[in-house]
């Protein structure tokens, strides 16, 4: 019998409510399920006799160099998975030579996360995720803190005018963090108590004006996360976005939304190479990375697999997940006849007649 993978180990170690918080989605979890199924519906056509004896898996993205075209997407409350939380994650991601996106729902403040990453690698890159807050001065302060900590991009989640309804959390009564845990980046913000974190707020009135104000108040590149409609992608480019992140929020917002992968080709066509197009949602294998790149992504994000590695074995678990994913991508690239990620092309993606039934071990 093969040893249990990180997901199974994490499920056995985490309290059920914590596991469900990480694993669950909104509503009936159709969007969550479709993210993985979308990859299962597609296959890769290999190219042969290309003469590529060696491969370079690295990509340039927003001024950073990633060792392979995978970054870590924002996920909340890492200390629920492991006592060292985002600090352990940051060290592992820095060791892997890629980018961690930490954010407002982190249980370690952005300055601490940046310091942990740079203790492992002085040149480690870090991005910061935020939601547009109802008060612009709060949004601007969060952006300022990220810039002061040395983050190299802001990832603005734009698909959340209201919170998604997470069925598992409601069933478990998991509505607040346990004592001793907090969203540390929300402490000491304008208009809030000096020693307590403000609640993370959603803003149903958010608009492109909020993006413009943030663009004017921050010198960091802006990645708009949660875009699925091609017309929104065109508007984002016109409004000065530096990258588009195609995402359905891991299936945690609109349950009727399509899989991120299904939305990717139309968004990539709308952007037409003017800015990088990224994707997250459902990426579990190196072949998933290759499919997304062939359909127009520059890089992809992973979220839940990193949490499973963190819960299973802390920093070492995250390192293992990323190392296995990088190795699997490199192997897939070789079998597809590529020497670098840019060699993967749209004509190599074809429908798979019979969907896969197995699951990636991470």
| Distance separating alpha carbons of residues 56 and 321, to the nearest angstrom | 20
Considering the candidates 7, 82, 166, 249, report the single residue annotated as catalytic. Answer: 249
Whether 136 sits among the annotated catalytic residues: the reply is no
| Distance separating alpha carbons of residues 326 and 318, to the nearest angstrom | 12
Beta bridge partners, 44, equal 349
Show the tokens assigned to 90. Answer: 């940051």
| Distance separating alpha carbons of residues 192 and 199, to the nearest angstrom | 9
> What is the SS3 assignment for the chain?
CCCCCHHHHHHHHCCHHHHHHHHCCECCCHHHHHHHHHHHCEEECCCCCCCCCCCCCCEEECCEEECCCEEECCCCCHHHCCCCHHHHHHHHHHHHCCCEEEECCCCCCHHHHHHHHHHHCCCCCEEEEEECCCCHHHHHHHHHHHHHCCCCEEEEECCCCCCCCEHHHHHHCCCCCCCCCCCHHHECCCCCCCCCECCCCCCCCCCHHHHHHHHHHCCCCEEEEEECCHHHHHHHHHCCCCEEEECCHHHCCCCCCCCHHHHHHHHHHHHCCCCCEEEECCCCCHHHHHHHHHCCCCEEEECHHHHHHHHHHHHHHHHHHHHHHHHHHHHHHHHCCCCCHHHCCHHHEEECCCCCCCCCCC
| Distance separating alpha carbons of residues 291 and 288, to the nearest angstrom | 5
| Distance separating alpha carbons of residues 272 and 266, to the nearest angstrom | 10
**Contact in structure between 332 and 289 (CB atoms under 8 Å):** yes
Phi, psi of 9 (to 5 degrees): -65, -45
Q: Which residues are catalytic?
A: 249
């Amino acid at each position: 019998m093969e040893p249990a993978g990180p997901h199974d180990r994490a499920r056995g170690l985490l309290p059920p409510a914590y596991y469900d918080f990480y694993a669950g989605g909104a509503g009936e979890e159709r969007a969550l399920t479709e993210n993985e199924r979308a990859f299962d519906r597609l296959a890769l056509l290999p190219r042969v006799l290309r003469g590529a004896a060696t491969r370079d898996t690295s990509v340039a993205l927003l001024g950073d160099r990633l060792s392979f075209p995978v970054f870590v997407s924002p996920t909340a409350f890492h200390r629920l998975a492991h006592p060292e939380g985002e600090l352990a994650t940051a060290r592992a991601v820095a060791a892997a030579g890629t980018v961690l996106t930490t954010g407002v729902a982190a249980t370690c403040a952005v300055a601490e996360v940046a310091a942990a990453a740079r203790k492992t690698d002085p040149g480690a890159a870090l991005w910061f995720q935020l939601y547009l807050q109802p008060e612009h001065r709060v949004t601007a302060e969060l952006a300022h803190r990220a810039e002061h900590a040395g983050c190299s991009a802001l990832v603005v989640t734009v698909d959340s005018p209201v919170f998604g309804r997470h069925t598992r959390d409601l069933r478990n009564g998991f509505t607040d963090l346990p004592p001793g845990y907090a969203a540390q980046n929300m402490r000491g913000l304008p208009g809030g108590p000096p020693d307590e974190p403000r609640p993370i707020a959603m803003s149903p009135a958010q608009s492109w004006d909020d993006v413009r104000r943030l663009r004017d108040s921050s010198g960091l590149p802006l990645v708009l996360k949660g875009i699925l409609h091609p017309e929104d992608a065109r508007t984002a480019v016109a409004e000065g976005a530096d990258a588009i992140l195609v995402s359905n929020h891991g299936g945690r917002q609109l349950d009727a939304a399509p899989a991120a992968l299904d939305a990717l080709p139309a968004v990539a066509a709308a952007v037409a190479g003017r800015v990088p197009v990224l994707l997250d949602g459902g990426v579990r294998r190196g072949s998933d990375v290759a499919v997304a790149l062939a359909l127009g992504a520059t890089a992809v994000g992973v979220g839940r697999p990193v949490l499973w590695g963190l819960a299973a074995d802390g920093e070492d678990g995250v390192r293992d997940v990323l190392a296995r994913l990088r190795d699997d991508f490199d192997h897939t690239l070789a079998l597809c006849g590529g020497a670098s990620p840019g060699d993967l092309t749209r004509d190599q993606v074809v429908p798979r007649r019979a969907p896969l039934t197995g699951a990636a071990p991470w």
